[in-house]
């Protein structure tokens, strides 16, 4: 304590030595002179305390004064506020025997107990400013007695105005109070006083100012305080780095850390931990490695918290090998260490690795907790192995753990994905019995579960019984309405939400955007975007991604790409979900060139490490006719997830490469990944497109027996398709009749398509009758049956079908094909404008037909469903859009590059045959994706083996 403050203290306390009725006004603010203590009885009031005891005590409780100090001998006399004041006056008169710390600590405590907060604060400021720890203790006790920190600030201002001089400790605590109260103006006044008195060089004051400005004015002002500080000591460096991290200025925090090292400043363990977390969130592997090197250099590898953060940092940067290496090198593993590495494997989709470590943990002295189990559940959710989520959910209960809200929400999410509504109701019963329905996150998951199972009434009941509904609960039900297309109900709930005083956030608006775009109402979705802007909000990446994703779900692929262009014009940076949706938009119509552009965009912005984007790229390239590129991307993925394997298997399946599909399946099983229903769809698709009947039966039977997977209608459809296309039409029909499920349009459609190949008109009519009943307005079924009739010259039946279509108002949709040359898509359609180069295209096509006739091509006039002469039928065949698109591609795409054609309906038999001959004559690869499947023509053969 400075001499100045000691002198001020003595002068101030002299006022207390005067007769009681002459005390200063601040001692008689409370007219109730016989007020009882706030918390303790009078005899329990302690009046003395050593400085050491004050520092070590969590409160300012004081031991007794020295026995020689006579005014304190009779504690029982302190029964009123007046007696406290009288005692205080006597203490000041006996200055020579006083101990400032013990006396002031006692008097502050007495004043607090009698509710005289102002007097306590004055003693605090004037006589007690020696030790920073004492300040903190007083602030805690002041609050415990019900004092308001604003009273301390008022006393400070009063004393300051009266000329009391304070040291840097006092100013530091005042700034701390300003920070807690967010009193920016008082803090700025203190800052000005500090500069005037030269205290701004004190590092603790600078730190207090940084914290105050960061909270009240923003990080930019806090950084300015740091830059202006003349002494940048270690404590100040750590403070500014942490302030930037709190403000999510992570890049700036990393730059400050580099400057710290240049200045030879030492970062605390807490700062290192937070910086490693920032490297994980930013996905900046190199910076994370540098901090790891810093940790090794300065011998901090023994710090378990730092090592745990290093493990998490490598995990977030998709470097499980490095994360595991750090974990294995740690001397001690605590529970957090095990949870960090298990979570690392789980969130990166390597659930088998997470499970192996989990079992290793169980054999150690440290036992798993509920967080460990939740990591396993989350990993299965991310990998899409929803059956395993429920299996492990039961296992954690068997292990004696009570599921928490995180476990419950994971289980409910798995229920939603699997459509296991009955199990969901059982979990709801468990939630009610365990009284977990108070948790708003659990309730929100229940609402979502009932919505996805078409039980909006039950979802509403859960919602209205949820206590303390937060914005997430409201958004969940609004999202449910929009998901089902109930936009009027969504608007009503939206208005009710505002009436309840809950302001819609971007998630609310984004739900409306997603719903409108998903239901094909792109204009309304765009109107919501504009509505958001009119409210002063900024549509974020989620808003635009919802637009794009919704359009993809509704197969409005061109709209999705157009919205992406608008998103870029708005300077909104896409995220990984946006990229996945865009790749899906390219995969749908096989927009290979656009997909390649998005691939380049992903490389440029560092998205290729994302497993979901890698999987979407495999799908896009497979459907775009570049199976080798798809396989190369697949091969380079280190930690392959189940969706990744499924996507690659499906890619080979659509090309008819059944053996490759089986090899992938065997390799996947060897890695410990368990197949799901989608895996078997890929396997059976590979069988049907390759004509492998025995293998098809093998995998179909193993679903239930070996993997406990119940076949879905999609699996039955694959088997019907396989049996039918390989000529086992009677067996296919018997299989349909023996199915435990009722055959849908996909089943009968597969059978009808097989009848066209094998020209079985009897079974074709059976299949067609069922299709006309299930899909009376699907023109493709009528056209397929007409094709079969025309092949038998049954023109009366063809006309009968045509008349039936006219009577029912069924129209054959516009048939089109397109090919892309450079950046331009050229469309050939049965309706609308003809191509500007139509003359040159037909001339080239005539030349091609003449050339392939020499190789054995004979026009298949049975594909023409018109009763006209054969010459006219051959002319009609020439006008088929896929022939025109192929011809134009051969004319314009030079250098031997493949020609790629997309057609919206099934390719006809004649065009399929012609394409095989053209690929042989021109020595060119032709990729044609029709409305049914993928065809790869090369050297006179097709990947479908004439089964489509």
End-to-end CA distance of the chain: 94
* Contact residues for 872 (Cβ-Cβ < 8 A; gap 6+): 866
Task: Write out the DSSP string of 78-117.
Answer: --SHHHHHHHHHHHHHTGGG--HHHHHHHHHHHHHHTT-H
* Contact residues for 732 (Cβ-Cβ < 8 A; gap 6+): 719, 720, 723, 724, 751, 754
Whether 152 and 193 have beta carbons less than 8 Å apart is answered as no
Neighbours of 541 (CB within 10 A): 14
Give Cα separations from 606 to 578, 630, 632 (angstroms). 14, 19, 18
CA distance 301 to 253: 22
Q: Please report how the helices 405-418 and 370-383 are oriented relative to each other, as an axis angle in degrees rounded to 10.
A: 20
**Residue 919 corresponds to which tokens in the numbers above?**
């690929």
**Residue 688 corresponds to which tokens in the numbers above?**
């049907």
Side-chain-side CA neighbours of 874 within 13 Å: the count stands at 11
247-253, Cβ contacts within 8 angstroms, sequence gap of 24 or more:
247/214, 247/218, 247/219, 249/219, 250/278, 250/281, 250/282, 251/282, 252/219, 252/223, 253/278
Side-chain-side CA neighbours of 210 within 13 Å: the count stands at 26
Q: Any bridge partners for residue 929, and if so which?
A: 902, 934
Select from 660, 677, 679 the least CA-distant residue to 669.
679
**Residue 397 corresponds to which tokens in the numbers above?**
């209960």
Q: Please report how the helices 658-670 and 642-654 are oriented relative to each other, as an axis angle in degrees rounded to 10.
A: 170
Give the residue carrying structure tokens 């016989």: 34
Q: Please report how the helices 386-398 and 370-383 are oriented relative to each other, as an axis angle in degrees rounded to 10.
A: 170
Whether 901 and 817 have beta carbons less than 8 Å apart is answered as yes
Whether 545 and 578 have beta carbons less than 8 Å apart is answered as yes
**Residue 761 corresponds to which tokens in the numbers above?**
């008109």
Q: What is the pLDDT of residue 853?
A: 93
What sign results for the dihedral spanned by CA atoms 131, 133, 139, 141? Answer: negative
Select from 473, 471, 488 the least CA-distant residue to 442.
473
Whether 241 and 257 have beta carbons less than 8 Å apart is answered as yes
CA distance 588 to 624: 9
CA distance 353 to 344: 10
How much of the chain is in helix, strand and coil states, percent to nearest 5?
Answer: 70, 5, 30
Question: Which DSSP state fits 817?
Answer: E
CA distance 640 to 581: 20
Question: Which DSSP state fits 709?
Answer: -
**Triad 179, 182, 183: Cα angle to 5°:** 100
* Contact residues for 861 (Cβ-Cβ < 8 A; gap 6+): 870, 873, 874, 877, 910
CA distance 353 to 673: 10
CA distance 161 to 181: 21
Whether 260 and 253 have beta carbons less than 8 Å apart is answered as no
**Residue 420 corresponds to which tokens in the numbers above?**
């296991």
Q: Any bridge partners for residue 938, and if so which?
A: 941
CA distance 532 to 546: 14
**Residue 208 corresponds to which tokens in the numbers above?**
């207090």
Query: What global pTM score does this model have?
Result: 0.59
CA distance 92 to 71: 11
Question: Which DSSP state fits 328?
Answer: H
**Which residues, given as ranges, of the chain have pLDDT below 70?**
1-79, 83-84, 86-108, 110, 116-117, 120-149, 151-169, 181-184, 186-187, 191-192, 194-201
Cα-to-chain-centroid distance, residue 604: 22
Total H helices, total E strands in the chain: 49, 6
CA distance 314 to 288: 8
Whether 172 and 204 have beta carbons less than 8 Å apart is answered as yes
Judged on CB neighbours under 10 Å (0-12, 13-18, 19+), 909 is middle
**Residue 634 corresponds to which tokens in the numbers above?**
């697949």
SS3 537: coil
Q: What is the pLDDT of residue 607?
A: 82
CA distance 254 to 503: 36
CA distance 191 to 206: 9
Select from 384, 378, 379, 357 the least CA-distant residue to 368.
357
What sign results for the dihedral spanned by CA atoms 389, 391, 394, 395? Answer: negative
**Pairing mode, if any, of strands 824-829 and 899-903?**
unpaired
**Residue 323 corresponds to which tokens in the numbers above?**
């994360």
Going edge to edge, which strands form the sheet with 926-929? 824-829, 816-821, 899-903, 926-929, 934-938, 941-942
């Amino acid at each position: 304590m400075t001499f100045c403050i000691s002198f001020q203290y003595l002068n101030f306390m002299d006022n207390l030595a005067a007769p009681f009725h002459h005390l200063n006004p601040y001692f008689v603010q409370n007219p109730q002179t016989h007020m009882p203590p706030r918390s303790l009885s009078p005899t329990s009031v302690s009046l003395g305390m050593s400085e050491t005891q004050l520092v070590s005590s969590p409160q300012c409780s004081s031991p007794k004064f020295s026995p020689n100090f006579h005014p304190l001998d009779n504690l029982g006399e302190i029964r009123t506020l007046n007696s406290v004041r009288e005692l205080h006056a006597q203490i000041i008169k006996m200055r020579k025997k006083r101990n400032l710390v013990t006396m002031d600590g006692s008097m502050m405590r007495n004043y607090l107990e009698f509710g005289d907060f102002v007097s306590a604060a004055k003693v605090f400021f004037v006589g007690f400013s020696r030790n920073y720890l004492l300040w903190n203790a007083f602030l805690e006790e002041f609050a415990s007695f019900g004092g308001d920190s604003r009273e301390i600030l008022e006393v400070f201002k009063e004393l300051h105005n009266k000329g009391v001089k304070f040291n840097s400790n006092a100013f530091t605590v005042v700034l701390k109070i300003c920070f807690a109260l967010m009193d920016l103006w008082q803090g700025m006044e203190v800052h000005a006083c500090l500069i005037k008195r030269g205290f701004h060089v004190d590092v603790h004051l600078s730190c207090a100012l940084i914290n105050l400005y960061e909270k009240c004015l923003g990080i930019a002002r806090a950084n300015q305080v740091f830059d202006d500080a003349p002494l940048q000591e270690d404590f100040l460096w750590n403070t500014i780095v942490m302030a930037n991290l709190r403000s999510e200025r992570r890049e700036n925090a990393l730059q400050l850390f580099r400057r710290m090292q240049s200045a030879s400043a030492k970062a605390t363990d807490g700062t290192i931990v937070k910086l490693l977390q920032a490297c994980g969130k930013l996905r900046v592997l190199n910076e994370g490695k540098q901090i790891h090197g810093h940790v090794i250099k300065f011998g901090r590898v023994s710090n378990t918290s730092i090592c745990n953060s290093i493990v998490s940092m490598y995990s977030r940067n998709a470097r499980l090998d490095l994360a595991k290496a750090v974990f294995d090198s740690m001397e001690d593993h605590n529970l957090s260490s095990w949870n960090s590495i298990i979570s690392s494997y789980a969130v990166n989709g390597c659930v088998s690795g997470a499970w192996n470590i989990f079992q290793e943990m169980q054999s150690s002295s440290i036992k798993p907790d509920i967080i460990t189990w939740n990591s396993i559940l989350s990993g299965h959710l991310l990998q899409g192995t929803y059956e395993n989520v429920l299996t492990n959910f039961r296992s954690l209960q068997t292990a004696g753990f009570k599921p928490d809200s995180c476990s419950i929400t994971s289980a409910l999410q798995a229920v939603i994905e699997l459509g296991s509504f009955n199990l969901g109701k059982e979990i709801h019963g468990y939630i009610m019995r365990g009284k977990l329905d108070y948790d708003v996150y659990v309730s929100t998951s229940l609402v979502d579960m009932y919505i996805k199972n078409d039980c909006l009434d039950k979802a509403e009941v859960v919602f209205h019984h949820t206590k303390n509904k937060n914005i997430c609960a409201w958004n969940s039900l609004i999202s449910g309405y929009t998901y089902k297309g109930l936009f009027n109900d969504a608007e009503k709930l939206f208005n009710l939400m505002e009436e309840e005083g809950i302001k819609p956030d971007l998630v609310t608006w984004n739900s409306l955007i997603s719903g409108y775009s998903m239901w094909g109402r792109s204009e309304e979705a765009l109107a919501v975007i504009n509505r958001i802007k009119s409210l002063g909000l900024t549509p974020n990446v989620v808003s635009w991604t919802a637009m794009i994703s919704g359009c993809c779900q509704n197969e409005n692929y061109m709209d999705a790409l157009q919205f992406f262009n608008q998103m870029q014009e708005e300077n909104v940076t896409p995220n990984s979900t946006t990229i996945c949706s865009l790749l899906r938009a390219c995969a749908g119509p096989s927009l290979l060139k656009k997909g390649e552009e998005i691939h380049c965009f992903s490389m440029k912005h560092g998205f290729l490490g994302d497993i979901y984007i890698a999987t979407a790229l495999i799908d896009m390239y497979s459907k775009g006719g570049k199976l080798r590129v798809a396989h190369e991307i697949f091969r380079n993925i280190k930690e392959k997830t189940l969706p990744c394997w499924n996507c690659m298997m499906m890619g080979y399946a659509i090309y008819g490469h059944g053996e490759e599909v089986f090899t992938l399946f065997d390799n996947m099983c060897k890695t410990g990944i368990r197949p799901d229903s989608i895996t078997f769809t890929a396997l059976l698709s590979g069988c049907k497109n390759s004509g492998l009947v025995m293998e098809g039966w093998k995998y179909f039977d193993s679903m239930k027996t070996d993997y406990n997977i119940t076949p879905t209608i999609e699996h039955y459809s694959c088997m019907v398709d396989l049996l039918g296309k390989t000529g086992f039409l009677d067996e296919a029909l018997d299989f349909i009749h023996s199915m435990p499920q009722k055959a849908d349009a996909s089943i009968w459609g597969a059978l009808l398509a097989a009848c066209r190949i094998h020209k079985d008109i009897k079974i074709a009519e059976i299949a067609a009758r069922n299709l006309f009943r299930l899909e009376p307005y699907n023109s493709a079924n009528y056209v397929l049956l007409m094709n079969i009739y025309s092949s038998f010259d049954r023109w009366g039946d063809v006309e009968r079908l045509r008349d039936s279509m006219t009577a029912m108002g069924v129209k054959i949709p516009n048939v089109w094909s397109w090919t892309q040359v450079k950046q331009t898509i050229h469309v050939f359609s049965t309706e609308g404008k003809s191509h500007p180069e139509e003359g040159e295209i037909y001339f080239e096509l005539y030349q091609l037909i003449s050339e392939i006739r020499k190789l054995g091509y004979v026009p298949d006039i049975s594909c023409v469903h018109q009763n006209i002469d054969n010459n006219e039928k051959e002319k009609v065949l020439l006008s088929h859009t896929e022939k025109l698109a192929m011809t134009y591609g051969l004319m314009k795409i030079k250098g031997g590059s493949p020609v790629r054609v997309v057609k919206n309906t099934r390719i006809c038999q004649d065009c399929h045959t012609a394409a095989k001959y053209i690929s042989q004559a021109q020595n060119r690869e032709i990729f044609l994706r029709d409305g049914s499947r993928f065809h790869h023509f090369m050297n006179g053969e097709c990947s479908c083996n004439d089964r489509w």
